[in-house]
């Protein structure tokens, strides 16, 4: 008799005519069997990963070990997911994790650590089954939900009900490992007795003083526990990671202080004020007209660089808030676009002001950060200008603006600004801050040493020294590059 299967109903009812023979052999499986095996597999991975984290991170200066441990967590998550994910998603997770951890290999710093945490979190959310549009919220909810999942699974294992829980897990582990471990130890003792060399190794290991971990180390293990368990329980957290849609309030939208009349008057006033500032910048910055007596170009540049950036940010926010009225009015739309264009010109003027100031006083970390920030603001305003022109939604702007900021931050994590600052300040006629120069990071030390060799005298009498890593766990590419350059320089000057 041919069997007709009905999908979507319980397994015992899939056979058509099940009431005739009552054959339910297909349903005699333990319903908990499907969940016990993955749980046991995750526990088998948990302990080695905690041990690996202890070896790589505990009492070790941050270095390559952080990238290795992050990669190990991602590999374990991919292993647990197994065939449940497609090859394309597997490749995206693997490639995205490599990109996220690469800045840690260059240098462990707050920015590279932030990129690694955000990138790995997004890749784990992708591995959990979330769509690309859900990755942002899923990455934010990943670790709080992972902590909750850790507590839930721990409480479930401690329960003892119908053969489930910790007692049943211990019983299964004893049934599976008691005979192999016992006989394996017997055979190992016999082989050690027959091999004096191996017995010498065993005696050396036995004489090692194994101390119990202190409270700080146990606390570190407890902190690793939810991090690792989150990566091993992604498929169980899929629904928790998804955002719950909020109910929209019904009724007409109320009109506040931002309304068509106020927007019109504001844009007219703003354009007039900004036109005056733009005209002054054209005259004094680009036209070659001398400044009034008592005001230098450095002071003019320093006074205006940062306030103009804040002004441009406020202008961008106002442009986003008024889109609902400007889109439907051609005149308001033209006024808004002209005002945003003037803001772009103001940010460009801020960059010119900053350049004039740097030409006199040199580069610092704050000035480099200001230049990058101004470039980002100018790019964001240009996106707003295009958004208004093409009538795109605000979501279009947020996605592209966020992507632009992410790319810039990622590139900044790979650039050695210490070397950039040292190279510029030592090769340009600026008023050098020797204290700031001599205490720059590792990447600046070979440049300073080369300049000292060129001068024939020391520039820094008490300079920061490049610290060599104790072992591979503290290795960093930027630190290694600085040490290699200094060694090559010392080899050239050695007699």
| Cα first-last separation, the chain | 96
> Which residues neighbour 298 within 8 Å (Cβ) at sequence distance 6 or greater?
356, 357, 360, 361
pLDDT of residue 37: 43
Instruction: Tell me if residue 161 falls in helix, strand or coil.
Output: strand
Residue 428 tokens read as 């340009």
pTM for this predicted structure = 0.75
* Distance from C-alpha of 309 to C-alpha of 169, rounded to nearest angstrom: 61
User: Which residues does the chain have with pLDDT short of 50?
Assistant: 1-3, 5, 9-37, 162-163, 208-209, 250-253
H helix intervals, 128-259: 135-158, 166-194, 196-206, 215-232, 238-241
Instruction: Tell me if residue 439 falls in helix, strand or coil.
Output: coil
Residue 5 tokens read as 């299967």
Residue whose token pair is 């650590």: 113
Residue 161 phi/psi, 5° resolution? -140, 120
pLDDT of residue 480: 92
DSSP state at residue 462: S
Residue closest to 266 by CA, chosen among 341, 334, 332, 317 = 332
240 contacts 141 by C-beta, under 8 angstroms: yes
* Distance from C-alpha of 156 to C-alpha of 150, rounded to nearest angstrom: 10
Instruction: Tell me if residue 305 falls in helix, strand or coil.
Output: helix
């Amino acid at each position: 008799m041919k069997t007709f299967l009905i999908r979507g109903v319980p397994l015992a009812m899939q056979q058509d005519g099940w009431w005739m023979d009552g054959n339910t052999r297909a349903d005699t499986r333990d319903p908990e069997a499907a969940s016990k095996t993955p749980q046991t597999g995750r526990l088998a991975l948990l302990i080695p990963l905690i041990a690996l984290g202890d070896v790589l991170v505990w009492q070790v200066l941050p270095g390559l070990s952080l990238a290795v441990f992050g990669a190990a967590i991602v590999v374990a998550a991919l292993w647990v997911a197994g065939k449940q994910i497609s090859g394309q998603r597997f490749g995206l997770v693997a490639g995205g994790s490599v990109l996220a951890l690469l800045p840690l290999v260059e240098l462990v710093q707050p920015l590279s650590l932030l990129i690694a945490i955000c990138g790995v979190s997004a890749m784990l959310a992708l591995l959990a089954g979330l769509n690309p549009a859900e990755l942002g919220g899923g990455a934010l909810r990943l670790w709080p939900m992972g902590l909750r999942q850790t507590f839930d699974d721990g409480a479930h294992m401690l329960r003892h009900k119908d053969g489930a829980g910790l007692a049943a897990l211990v019983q299964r582990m004893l049934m599976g490992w008691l005979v192999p471990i016992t006989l394996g130890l017997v055979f190992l003792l016999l082989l050690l007795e027959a091999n004096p060399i191996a017995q010498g190794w065993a005696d050396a290991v036995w004489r090692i003083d194994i101390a119990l971990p202190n409270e700080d180390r146990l606390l570190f293990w407890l902190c690793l526990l939810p991090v690792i368990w989150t990566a091993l329980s992604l498929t169980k957290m899929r629904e928790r990671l998804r955002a719950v849609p909020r109910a929209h309030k019904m009724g007409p939208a109320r009109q506040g202080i931002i309304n068509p009349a106020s927007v019109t008057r504001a844009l007219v006033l703003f354009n007039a004020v900004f036109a005056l500032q733009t005209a002054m910048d054209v005259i004094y910055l680009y036209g070659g007209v001398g400044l009034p007596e008592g005001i230098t170009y450095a002071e003019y540049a320093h006074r205006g660089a940062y306030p103009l950036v804040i002004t441009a940010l406020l202008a961008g926010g106002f442009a986003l808030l008024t889109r609902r009225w400007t889109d439907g009015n051609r005149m308001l739309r033209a006024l808004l676009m002209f005002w945003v264009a003037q803001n772009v010109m103001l940010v460009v003027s801020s960059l010119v002001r900053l350049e004039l100031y740097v030409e006199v006083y040199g580069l610092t970390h704050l000035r480099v950060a200001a230049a990058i920030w101004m470039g980002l603001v100018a790019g964001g305003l240009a996106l707003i200008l295009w958004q208004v022109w093409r009538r795109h939604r605000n979501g279009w702007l947020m996605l592209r603006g966020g992507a632009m900021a992410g790319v810039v931050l990622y590139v900044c994590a790979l650039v050695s600004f210490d070397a950039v600052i040292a190279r510029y300040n030592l090769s340009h006629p600026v008023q050098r801050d020797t204290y700031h120069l001599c205490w720059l990071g590792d990447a600046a030390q070979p440049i300073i040493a080369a300049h000292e060799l060129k001068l024939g005298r020391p520039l820094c009498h008490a300079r920061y020294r490049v610290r060599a890593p104790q072992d591979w766990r503290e290795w960093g590419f930027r630190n290694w590059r600085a040490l290699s350059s200094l060694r090559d320089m010392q080899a050239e000057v050695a007699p």
